[in-house]
Amino acid sequence: MAHQVLDSTILGSTIDIFRGPVHVDSDLAEDDFMALGALVAAKANIIGITFTGCGIARLAPARRNIFRFLKETNMLHVPFAGGNALPLQGDHKFPENWRNQADQFYGLKESLHVEEESEIKDGEELLAHNLRTSMEKVRIIALGPMTNIAKVLRSHPELADRIEHIYVMGGAFHPVQGNIQPCGVPIDNDVAEWNIYIDPLAAREVLEKVSPRITFVPLNATDKVVLDAPYFHRLEQYHPTAVSDLIYRMLNDEELLGKIIYRGFLCFWDPLTAVIAMNDSFVTSWEDTKVDIVTEEGKHSGQTIYSTNGCRARVVTDVAVERFKECYFTTLTS
C-alpha cells in the first residue's frame, strides 16, 4: 500500500503504520479517548476529529473534553468540531448515567474552558471540508453512531469517492449477541450493538455509499480484548508520557474502576478499531461478505446481518489479542 512505511517508535518493535490522512468521527467516551491516545502516540496523520451529540458524550462537554485532550497532548493543531445531537431517525439513546460520566470526563472530572476554536465549528462541515480539500483520499475511523458521516454523504454524495476506507467500531454478527441487554438496560433487543443501534439508518446509508471500502470491527472481535484490573495496574505503575498520563488519570475513576474495569467489562472497542485502521496485522480472522443493517424499529433494530441482498464489506471476526494489548501499551507509553 502506498502509505505503509516502517515505524520503529511503536512499542519497541517494528510495525507498519498507515501514514495517509485520517479523520476520526467519535462520541468521546472513555474508549474513544483510548483510541485517540494510541493514534496520537503513534503519530498518525490526524487531519480532523468530529463528534456526534447522539452518542455517549453530549456536545458541549464533549467539546471541552476534546479540547483538554488535545491541549494536554500538544495536538491543538488538529481541528475538532461537534455535529448534530439527534440521530437521522428514531430516538435511541445511551443510558443517562453513561452520558453523565462521559460529560465529566471520568477521572479527569473537570474540563478546561475552550480557549481556542477550530476555524470550522460544525462537525459535518469539518468532515466535508477535509474530504474535499485533502490531497489524498481520507481514511475515516468511525467510533460512534455514524450520524455525522451519513449527513455529509447525504448533502455531498460526490464526497463518498474521497473516502479511502472507513473502519467502523460497530455491529454484532452471528453468532455473537448484541451488547444492549448485557448492560442491564431495559430495552428488548439482544442482537444490536450500541453504536449501530443508536442510528441504524445512518449506519446503513454509510454502508451503502462507501461499500466495499468499509471494515466493521464488531463485538465478535472487540469482546475478546478486555482492559482488566492487571492491565490498569500496569498503566498505574507506568505512564511516563503526556498521553499515557492523561489516559491513566481518565481511567482512574472510582465509578469506572469499580463498576466496569474491575468487573472485566471494559473492552478495547474503539482503540482496537483505531489500531486495526493503522495496522491490519492484528486481524487474524475476517469475512469478505455482504452486510445489511435492520433499520426498522423493534427488537431487531440496529442488527447487523450477513445477507446476500446486502452491501459488500469486510467484517473482522478475530484478532491477535495478546499482541494487540502489548502493542497498545507500548505505543501509549512510548
At 224 the three-state DSSP class reads coil
How far is it, in rounded angstroms, from Cα 257 to Cα 107?
Answer: 10
* Helical spans, DSSP H, in 104-213: 123-133, 147-155, 194-198, 200-210
Minimum CB distance to Ca ion, residue 264 (Å): 19
| Closer residue to Ca ion (CB): 29 or 277 | 29
Helix (H) or strand (E) holding 5: strand 4-7
Q: Which of 144, 170, 178, 271 binds Ca ion (CB under 5 A)?
A: 144
Length of the chain: 334
Q: Is 27 in the site for Ca ion (CB under 5 A)?
A: yes
Footprint of Ca ion on 241-270 (CB under 5 A):
270
Minimum CB distance to Ca ion, residue 145 (Å): 9
Minimum CB distance to Ca ion, residue 269 (Å): 7
Torsion of CA 62, 63, 64, 67, to 10 degrees: 120
Minimum CB distance to Ca ion, residue 29 (Å): 5
At 109 the three-state DSSP class reads coil
Strand 214-217 to 304-306 pairing: unpaired
Number of residues binding to Ca ion, judged by CB under 5 A: 6
Site string for Ca ion, 270-299 (x = CB under 5 A): x-----------------------------
| Closer residue to Ca ion (CB): 15 or 220 | 220
Output the CA–CA distances (angstroms, integers) from residue 234 to 56, 90, 227, 230, 271, in the order listed.
27, 42, 11, 6, 17
Cβ atoms of 193 and 216 within 8 Å: the answer is no
* Cell 502493542, located at residue: 327
Whose CA is closest to 251, among 227, 269, 224, 275?
227
Minimum CB distance to Ca ion, residue 224 (Å): 18
Beta strands in 120-279 (DSSP E): 138-142, 163-169, 214-217
Q: Is 199 in the site for Ca ion (CB under 5 A)?
A: no
Footprint of Ca ion on 53-92 (CB under 5 A):
none
Minimum CB distance to Ca ion, residue 96 (Å): 17
Determine the interface stretch with Ca ion among 29-37, 62-70, 146-154, 199-207 (rule: CB under 5 A): 29-37
Minimum CB distance to Ca ion, residue 309 (Å): 29
Q: Is 193 in the site for Ca ion (CB under 5 A)?
A: no
Determine the interface stretch with Ca ion among 31-39, 127-135, 286-294, 295-303 (rule: CB under 5 A): 31-39
Q: Which of 143, 153, 243, 291 binds Ca ion (CB under 5 A)?
A: 143
In the beta sheet, which residues pair with residue 122?
82
Residues forming the site for Ca ion (CB under 5 A): 27, 29, 32, 143-144, 270
